[in-house]
Copies of this chain bind each other. A is one copy, B any other.
């Protein structure tokens, strides 16, 4: 049984194609900045939004027309896997990302859950071998089940901590077995609803204890993938501990975990935290902590995680600038943590969504590369900070001066001359690079 019998493999047809089922910009083997596009972008399918998302929302029931709607249990899980791999093949998508709960039914208890996972992991392994598609990252879902109502590793209930630990252990094992290059922690319930009933100090200490156990177990089993933390400020929890990049980096440093974790940055989580996407990527990059990307976009006029397919070219260009300056995103990638709108319920809309996202980032890559090659922003910025390369600026950098020397220097200054930041000009040049 196939979902997409009538749809052929999506091909690159170039910018002038009017074929809505073709790539206009994503040309996987085209060389950009010295390597094929696909190696820059390392696109991944999100198992959840693509294969288990049903279009329900807080006020509405499922809308998605999917062939597995009539099935359940292991049979449903296998059909999802079949169709998911068919979908990835047709898109030329080389990676996927998953939660344990996406791929296998929960079961009545932990033992049954583990057994279900083992069946499906066998199945998926076969599909991977057959198709050559790889696992970008795995994770566990420790937020949906009611047992996690008050948190997982930050639950007030030690049994829940233990259960979450067992879940991560198994999910890490599975990820390792599938050759996953990363393992992600997103703490959807790690936070609080009200301080009236919360011991934040104990909860944060427990979060650190939990992550240290993950580090220990990773080493024990020899899992060589990256460990990633995914920040989000809120939703579902009122305050989530992993609020944003800066918060996570500070937490890691406090608990001496900074050498063991990098970050998985999601565009929509960035804007929910009142930051731009490129701000979050930049903060990661300059701290050596850029691990992977959840590619999507939010609606800045709405206050929740809309997880839309990324089609804003500005965001894509600025993101790819950070990725290129980072020397690439590997072993991370660009995972489409994106879902078709509830009103885009036909199977073909999945193709439209992914094509839109892949073309946007492909074009973003090309533009970013041009901007960097031409030194458009870099030359301007270098010049702007030139005063730190000589004289008093150099002495500051080299820590050769303190307040007293600087006061002496300042007393001798006439009016200080600054130069314009040229924001309007730079924005206009960015537009030129986007259009041409």
Contact = CB atoms under 8 A, between A and B. Distances in A.
B402 A311 contact: no
Interface in A293-352: 299-305, 309, 311-314, 318, 340-346, 348-349, 352
Given A149-B418, A197-B384, A356 B274 contact: no
A406 to B, nearest CB: 4
Interface stretch (A128-136, A176-184, A420-428): A420-428
Interface string A160-172: 1111011011100
A127 interface: no
A351 B293 CA distance: 38
Contacts of A233: 274
Interface in A241-263: 243-244, 246-247, 249-251, 253-254
Main SS at interface, chain A: helix
Given A158-B388, A166-B406, 6 more contacts: A150-B343, A165-B406, A194-B421, A238-B299, A247-B247, A309-B427
A230 interface: no
A60 interface: yes
Interface stretch (A72-80, A84-92, A279-287): A279-287
Contacts of A388: 158, 202, 206
Contacts of A58: 57-58, 235-236, 304-305
State the copy count for this chain.
Answer: 4
A355 interface: yes
Contacts of A392: 158-159, 162
Interface stretch (A2-10, A34-42, A140-148): A140-148
A373 interface: no
> When A and B form their complex, which 9 residue pairs have the shortest distance between CB atoms, in order from nearest?
A303-B303, A250-B250, A158-B393, A343-B421, A165-B406, A356-B428, A300-B300, A166-B410, A246-B247
Nearest to A390: B158
B159 A416 contact: yes
A201 interface: yes
A136 B319 CA distance: 40
Interface residues of A, number: 157
A392 B161 CA distance: 9
16 contacts: A60-B145, A110-B413, A111-B411, A146-B418, A149-B342, A159-B392, A160-B416, A166-B407, A166-B409, A195-B279, A197-B377, A200-B286, A206-B397, A217-B402, A250-B254, A340-B424
A276 to B, nearest CB: 7
Most buried by B among A189, A396, A424, A435: A424
Contact of A197 (B20, B201, B212, B422): B422
Interface in A374-402: 377, 380-381, 384-385, 387-388, 391-393, 396-397, 399, 402
